[in-house]
Amino acid sequence: MNLFTPLNSESGKNLSGSPKPVEHVRVLILGSGPAGYTAAIYAARANLNPVVYEGIEPGGQLTTTTEVENFPGYPDGVTGTQMMEDLKKQAERFGTDVRFGIATAADLSSMPYRITIDDEKVVETDALIIATGATAKYLGLESENKFKGQGVSACATCDGFFYKGKDVAVVGGGDTAAEEATYLAGLCRKVYLIVRKSYLRASKAMQEKVASTPNIEILFEHTTKEIVGDQSGVNGVILTNTKTGKNVKVDISGFFLAIGHHPNSELFKPWLDTDEVGYIKTLPDSTKTNLPGVFACGDVRDPHYRQAITAAGSGCMAAIDAERYLGERKF
């Protein structure tokens, strides 16, 4: 799911055909996950009067998780939804204007930068902070949605602890899947690595790591037909052998997807440098993009860690980078 998707719109006009109203702000933040809200907290405390548009999923992907236990400051754990509500309240406490709305078009060809919201209005900004995140890729099974947060996860680092001593499955054949499987192997009794092809696409080093981990079993040439469970969550997965066509049920308590993420950057690709997947490139040790006054933070620029705490840290960096930029330009 793309949180900030460009829609077909006639430039300069809203859906009724009349000219779109234009608003000017100093700092515009797109996205309301840990990166976006942290950027807002720092920008607001610097008197930059930030405006945040939450996007189609207020609070970001963290709101789809049940319990968060690895974010500092919550010794008893916290739900993703509650944590994001806390961050929102903190941002608003310092004067952040948090709004519901979806960025539907962008024009970064000249300053001030112009972002169209809900295909109805245009916001001009002196500094733009992009915190639109990256969406995990799913298999498209109905049972995935049914058990999301109840045994289905796209982040082993986030949720692996809940399956300590249990049997789990990881889907994927690349480096990410191999890394997730080896991480889970240190926590779980048994890890099944479900691979559609007859070989792993992971690097040789990662393949050797998987092969040398005794509690990882690779199920080559298998696809996931259905995830099964009950009110308490996942208790198994039905796999199809792609060579024989036969189905087999494997008893598991957790099902982890590791088939990649999709950075929500399409809106900005005509102007910003991205890698081959779509992650926005930033300067080393910075959130600065190739355009002055445009900053990227959180998972939209991070293909490696994808953690709430690292996203929050980069949100802080983006706000400081924006503050220094505006100070130098004397906006």
Whole-angstrom Cα distance, residue 50 to residue 46?
Answer: 10
Q: Which of 158, 297, 299, 321 is catalytic?
A: 158
Q: How far apart are CA 286 and CA 188, in angstroms?
A: 37
285 catalytic, yes or no?
Answer: no
Q: Clarify whether 159 is annotated catalytic.
A: yes
171, containing H or E segment: strand 167-171
User: Both ends of the chain: CA-CA distance in Å?
Assistant: 36
CB 83 within 8 A of CB 73: no
Instruction: Render the burial of 124-155: b for 16+ CB within 10 Å, e for the rest.
Output: bbbbbbbbbbbbbeeeebebbeebbbebbbbb
Q: Which among 86, 97, 118, 155 is annotated as catalytic? A: 155
Complete DSSP assignment for 236-279: EEEEEETTT--EEEE--SEEEE-S-EEES-GGGTTTS-B-SS-P
Per-residue tokens: 241: 């052998």
Examine the residue annotation and report whether 158 is marked as an active-site residue of this protein. yes
Q: What residues are annotated to the active site?
A: 155, 158-159
